[in-house]
Chains A and B, each alone.
Chain A
């Protein structure tokens, strides 16, 4: 089952990449694509379309999808709950607030990204600090509820900024960003975020066995020899780093971090070492498919956040109905 899932996911990903290069306002045939990728001369603007326009966008979709799925997998295991996602702990909302603030202050794209990153980390820091200070509750529950409450608070600050923003220049930019988009990615932005993504991913891959024990009740994991608090802090930081760098590239694209880990778990079970790579493959494939649809189904671009929500909401409700029976 595991091997079949990997092969299927990998094969699907390759096909999707080929399709994503081929379709669009300027169709590219498979032979043209192969020629460009092997460095042979081709006619017209095919090379520009492949290397300058679609290439970075496809790469961004793959990276963001994989990163959100990896972060979601970590959060779900850690919180022993298949219904949580990077939005829990206020990471996404914090990052969004940072970015919106950057737009509001008329900063350049680099600063907007830095703000997004700082916002995400600050939100999770705040949630963690408050959550750990709420004594007398189940610490995990305290953390999750604090995350929800802080997320709502940050959301209302975003609403305030939207209200105050210049409706002709800033507001469209803010809305565009909050819905997420992969349309205007430059290779430079991708290059900047790759090291951050890897920095978040490497510890998770290395600690993949131990991550399983975070899915046990704290007492059990500690009795089995794990320093739960230290491991959880490390994993939260890594998952947040990945989420914030993904948000910094693409804006907020919800649901990937919830749907994909769950789908992967249904295929290969909860063992983190098998789950994480498959979730990343599926996340990359899912977001690439969504983004390709977004730029081809209509004459205008549909924001990917809208499409993921349309797919995600019924899926979530279905999961919720199933949740008690089988994780």
Chain B
């Protein structure tokens, strides 16, 4: 599905990360963890082709990313950005319909089939009741789900979510993680980033630890999320506790 080899990435004229390699298969969930400014968003934007790679290769379903047009990428990869932008007061349905653009001709408007796909995306995320509300008048959690629905309307094979749980309350965080699990179950490959290592334990098959633009470790969450790796990344001491039955959690030590 997605294959990244010795990737170097960054902004024009400034490389901020290098030697990143990983691959992702259908239905697999990979969680990228790392400190602020560690390059998570930049890495994602490079994988989406929004930034030009500085070296290495990115392959999507066997084709080099650089050889694909914007629309071809959009039909394969859905992107859920950190949703804090101001939008015009489009209704949630109109907003989600924008996900259909890559499937439409240049001069075309969404047709019946596109409305059906959009409504189904809303349905699958449990926000069908919001369809006619303006995106400016729903809560942050609902907006996050609307962004996921818009990405699903692209009918992607790979979903890239940039800190989908940021700014959400506890309940909405759990709900988003449940959706991620369910979507992976339907065969979509998922790449997401988070500030909370527990999220990797909860729903990712593998975790990628990214610090200063390099891969610290990559592997099963319980193997790579350890007290020493977390301390190296975040500079704080953390206990990783085995709760039994395959469940783990991270507990930071707050000095006393």
Contact B94 A213 (CB under 8 A): no
- Asked whether any CB of chain B lies closer than 8 Å to the CB of A147, the reply is no
Give residues 183-227 of A contacting B (CB, 8 Å).
206-210, 212-213, 215-217, 219-220, 222-227
Inter-chain contact count A-B, CB under 8 Å?
A: 85
Q: How far is the CB of A209 from chain B (nearest CB, A)?
A: 4
Does B202 sit at the interface, judged by CB under 8 A?
no
Q: Is the CB of A224 within 8 A of B154?
A: yes
CB distance from B99 to the nearest CB of A (A): 6
Knowing A209-B109, A213-B101, A220-B79, say if A227 contacts B70 (CB, 8 Å): yes
Instruction: Contact check, A223 vs B48: say whether CB atoms are below 8 A apart.
Output: yes
Least CB separation from A77: chain B residue: B88
Cβ–Cβ contact B88 & A215, under 8 A: yes
B94 touches A223 (CB 8 A): no
The answer to whether B81 touches A217, judged by C-beta atoms less than 8 angstroms apart, is yes
Q: Which of B50, B88, B107 contacts A223 (CB 8 A)?
A: B50
B residues near A209, Cβ cutoff 8 Å = 101, 104, 108-110
- Measured in the bound complex, the distance between the Cα atoms of B49 and A273 in whole Å is 29
Bound-state Cα–Cα, A82 to B134, Å: 16
Beta-carbon nearest neighbor of B41 in chain A: A219
Chain B residues with Cβ below 8 Å from A206 are 107
Q: Is B21 an interface residue (CB 8 A)?
A: no
Contact digits for A50-89, partner B, Cβ 8 Å, 1 yes 0 no: 0000000000000000000000000001001010000000
**A25 located at the interface, meaning its Cβ lies under 8 Å from any Cβ of chain B in the complex:** no
B236 sits at the interface (CB 8 A)? no
Q: Which residues, 281 to 314 on A, are CB-close (under 8 Å) to B?
A: none
* A264 → chain B closest CB, angstroms: 12
Q: Is the CB of A222 within 8 A of B70?
A: yes
Q: With A80-B86, A212-B90, A212-B94 known to touch, is A207 a contact of B106 (CB < 8 Å)? A: yes
**How many Å from the CB of A322 to the closest CB on chain B?**
12
Q: Mark B40-78, 1 if CB is under 8 A from A, else 0.
A: 000001001110000000000000000000110111011
Q: Chain B residues near A271 (CB, 8 Å)? A: 90, 94
Q: Report if B136 contacts A (CB, 8 A).
A: yes
Which residues from chain B contact A82 at a C-beta distance below 8 Å?
88
Name the contact of B99 in the complex, choosing from A77, A224, A273, A327 (C-beta under 8 A): A224
Interface size bracket, B side = 35 or more
Residues in B whose Cβ lies below 8 Å from that of A224: 74, 79, 98-99, 101-102, 150, 154
Q: Is the CB of B107 within 8 A of A225?
A: no
- Mark contacts of A261-275 with chain B using CB atoms, 8 A cut-off: 1 yes-contact digit, 0 otherwise: 000010001110100
The answer to whether B91 has its CB under 8 Å from any CB of chain A is yes
Determine if A326 is an interface residue (Cβ-Cβ < 8 Å). Answer: yes
Say yes or no: B136 contacts A225, CB within 8 Å: no
**Chain B residues within 8 Å of A270, by CB:** 88-90
Give the residue name and chain of the A residue nearest to B13 (CB).
A135
Partner of A226, one of B101, B109, B154: B101
B87 interfacial by beta-carbon distance below 8 Å: yes
- The distance in angstroms between the C-alpha atoms of A217 and B71, with both chains bound, is 17
- Which residues of the other chain, B, contact A80 by a CB distance below 8 angstroms? 86, 88
In the assembled complex, which residues on chain A have CB atoms less than 8 Å from the CB atom of B99? 224
Chain A residues with Cβ under 8 A from B50's Cβ? Answer: 219, 222-223
Is there an interface contact between B88 and A327, defined as CB atoms closer than 8 Å? yes
A-B contact pairs, 28 of them (CB 8 A): A77-B88, A207-B106, A208-B109, A209-B108, A209-B109, A215-B87, A215-B90, A216-B85, A219-B79, A220-B79, A220-B85, A223-B73, A224-B74, A224-B79, A224-B99, A225-B74, A225-B101, A225-B102, A225-B154, A226-B101, A265-B88, A269-B89, A269-B90, A269-B91, A270-B89, A271-B90, A273-B109, A327-B89
Task: Contacts A225-B71, A226-B101 known; list 7 others, CB within 8 Å.
Answer: A77-B88, A80-B86, A207-B107, A215-B88, A224-B74, A225-B75, A269-B91
Residues of A within 8 A of B (CB): 77, 80, 82, 206-210, 212-213, 215-217, 219-220, 222-227, 265, 269-271, 273, 326-327
Residue numbers of B with Cβ under 8 A of A are: 45, 48-50, 70-71, 73-75, 77-79, 81, 85-91, 94, 98-99, 101-102, 104, 106-110, 134, 136-137, 150, 154
